[in-house]
Amino acid sequence: MKTNALNFGLLFLRLGISIGMLTHGYGKFMKILAGDFSFGDPIGIGPTASLILCTIAEFIAPLFLIAGWKTRWFALLAALNMLVAFIIAHDGDPFGKKEKSFLYLITFIFIYFSGAGKYAVDKQ
Tell me how far apart the alpha carbons of residues 81 and 103 are, in angstroms, rounded to a whole number: 12
Tell me how far apart the alpha carbons of residues 84 and 90 are, in angstroms, rounded to a whole number: 8
Domains of the chain: which residue ranges?
A: 4-114
Tell me how far apart the alpha carbons of residues 47 and 40 are, in angstroms, rounded to a whole number: 5
Whole-number pLDDT of residue 122: 87
pTM: 0.93
Mean pLDDT score, 46-66:
98
Confidence grade of residue 123 (pLDDT, cut at 50, 70, 90): confident
Tell me how far apart the alpha carbons of residues 35 and 50 are, in angstroms, rounded to a whole number: 14
Give, for 105, the enclosing helix (H) or strand (E).
Answer: helix 95-114
Whole-number pLDDT of residue 124: 65
> CA angle 38-41-46, nearest 5°?
75
